[in-house]
């Protein structure tokens, strides 16, 4: 079946450090989203990025659709960035998102 793989599974950073999270997907996507799940379980939209590059403050994302991967960059990390980051892809114009297993980020003060 269609697979979404994220790496690394866990990441511990010191406040102020930068990081890169990776998402590989096994088939072409028509929707690719990055989410941050906070400690209360809320899934917060970060980017809708089936291709190209977007930036929002300290966060940016790049999807290279032809090579089937997406990257999420977090710069100058803060303790509030802690939580689990998910990427999810949808295929065949269907809408159903297939989620990766997530990257658990912990930012220490």
Partner 1 sequence: EAGVAQSPRYKIIEKRQSVAFWCNPISGHATLYWYQQILGQGPKLLIQFQNNGVVDDSQLPKDRFSAERLKGVDSTLKIQPAKLEDSAVYLCASSLDRTETQYFGPGTRLLVL
**Residues lying near partner 1 in the complex (CB under 8 A):** 4, 30-31, 33, 35, 40-43, 45, 48, 86, 88, 90, 93-97, 99-102
Strand order in the sheet with 59-64: 4-7, 19-25, 69-74, 59-64, 52-56
> Which one, 31 or 62, has the nearer CB to partner 1?
31
> Which one, 76 or 101, has the nearer CB to partner 1?
101
In whole angstroms, the minimum distance from the beta carbon of 107 to partner 1 comes to 20
> Which one, 15 or 48, has the nearer CB to partner 1?
48
- Residue 62 in contact with residue 71, Cβ under 8 Å? yes
In whole angstroms, the minimum distance from the beta carbon of 76 to partner 1 comes to 26
Residue with tokens 């509030």: 80
In whole angstroms, the minimum distance from the beta carbon of 91 to partner 1 comes to 10
> Which one, 95 or 109, has the nearer CB to partner 1?
95
Spatial distance between the Cα atoms of 54 and 107, rounded to a whole number of angstroms: 23
In whole angstroms, the minimum distance from the beta carbon of 105 to partner 1 comes to 15
Q: Copy the structure tokens of residue 43.
A: 């899934």
SS3 content of the chain, % helix, strand, coil (to 5): 5, 60, 35
């Amino acid at each position: 079946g269609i697979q979404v793989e994220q790496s690394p599974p866990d990441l511990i950073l010191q406040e102020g450090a930068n990081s890169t999270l990776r998402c590989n997907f096994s088939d072409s996507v028509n929707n690719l989203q990055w989410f941050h799940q906070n400690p209360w379980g809320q899934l917060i939209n970060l980017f809708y990025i089936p291709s190209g590059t977007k930036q929002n403050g300290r966060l940016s994302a790049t999807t290279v659709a032809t090579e089937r991967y997406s990257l999420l960059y977090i710069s100058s990390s803060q303790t509030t960035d802690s939580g689990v980051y998910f990427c999810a892809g949808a295929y065949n114009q269907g809408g159903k998102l297939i989620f990766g297993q997530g990257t658990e980020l912990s930012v220490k003060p």
